Amino acid sequence: MEERKLLGRRIRSLRKIRGYTQEELAEIIGINPKYLSSIERGEENPTLDLFIRLADGLKVELHEIFQFEHEAEQSERLRKKLKDLMAEIKEEELARMVHILEALVH
């Protein structure tokens, strides 16, 4: 998985651990909530200054933001679990599952 997406997931995880909404954290660090949302989706390339503000707002050391190895591991575990569950689905339920997954993705 792309590093920016993993970094965004890490920031989202830290934000949720602190109990902040995107709007609350965005206000604390002085950015637009839509921009924070883009960062969390891995669509932005924040500056060092913004990473410092994020660390301050999240009450973590700067280096902790970049410790996102477990985000990739968690993603892989979830993908494996999904694959295992899909293997157990009865033939008549496959079409329904495809529709559900398509609705989640799109």
CATH number, residue 12: 1.10.260.40
Q: How confident is the model at residue 71 (pLDDT cuts 50, 70, 90)?
A: low
Judge contact between 25 and 53, C-beta under 8 A. no
Q: Report percent pLDDT > 70 for the chain.
A: 95
Q: What is the mean pLDDT of the chain?
A: 90
Q: Give the end-to-end CA distance of the chain in Å, rounded to a whole number.
A: 19
Q: Examine the pLDDT at 61 and tell me if it is beyond 60.
A: yes
Specify whether 76 is located in the same domain as 61: no
Specify whether 26 is located in the same domain as 42: yes
**Which of 17, 24, 67, 22 has the alpha carbon at shortest distance from 40?**
22
Q: Examine the pLDDT at 1 and tell me if it is beyond 60.
A: no
| Residue 36 CA from chain centroid, whole number | 11
Specify whether 82 is located in the same domain as 55: no
Convert the pLDDT of each residue in 10-59 to its tens digit.
999 999 999 999 999 999 999 999 999 999 999 999 999 999 999 999 99
Structure tokens at 62: 């700067």
Judge contact between 46 and 13, C-beta under 8 A. no
**Spatial separation of the C-alpha atoms in residues 69 and 51, rounded to whole Å:** 18
Query: What pLDDT, on a 0 to 100 scale, did the predictor assign at position 26?
Result: 98
Domain carrying residue 41: 3-65
